[in-house]
Amino acid sequence: MTQHPGKPAGLADPHDLDLFEFARSGRQAAGLVRVSQLPRMLNEVPAEAPERESAFTWQAEGTTQPELQDDGTEGPQPYLRLAIHGSAWLECQRCLAPYSQAFNVDAIYRIVNTEAEAEEFPLDEDEVDVIVGSAHFDLVDLIEEELLLNLPLVPKHEVCPEVHESLVSGAAGEEGDEAAEDEAEEGGEPARPNPFAALEALKKGGSGGEKH
């Protein structure tokens, strides 16, 4: 598959994608999206950042797997796999200076027809998310949503060049800052299960459509 940054393979417009056809035909696509194209992510970039125009690469793959339908028959269930890689500038909450945060997202989605179907999907299926598909699906909006969900709970350098004076003064001082750090780390989200394991398990049930 030939990939051209900014021109997804096999897609006329990632803002207007027939998601059901994409999955049914087992298609693949890849492209590049800039932070300036993602207004909500752009809001997270501090004004003091060295640059605001960083970019993310993405790859998408559609597939179907045979599943039992409501009428008791077996039918193809569409799925989407999405991978996003890149970095964006955020503000460190420890020293208040900009730093570059890496993003590496790998997600699998079960595609359903309506919001009602999405709400009925079991909540304990951690490895697979559910999205409502359409013939005019905005893939870029889904990319932005995933990036926002993967923002760190407490953005910070691994090692700050210096700690902002406002965080080491007063009664709390450095001890207060360390306590806040420990609390944030303890309250952080648990590691997300590997989505590729779910994809492999799905593929054991049958092969998807032919890739183009």
CB 14 within 8 A of CB 30: no
Record the tokens describing residue 204, joined without a space. Answer: 């054991």
**Backbone torsions φ then ψ of 170, nearest 5 degrees:** 85, -170
Write out pLDDT tens, residues 182-201: 544 444 444 555 555 555 66
Residue 163 pLDDT = 65
- Give the pLDDT band (50/70/90) at residue 123: low
Query: Helix (H, G, I), strand (E, B), or coil: what is residue 61?
Result: strand
**pLDDT(97) > 80:** yes
Q: What is the largest CA-CA distance in the chain?
A: 68
Q: Which of 74, 62, 81, 66 has its CA nearest to residue 21?
A: 62
Average per-residue pLDDT in the chain? 79
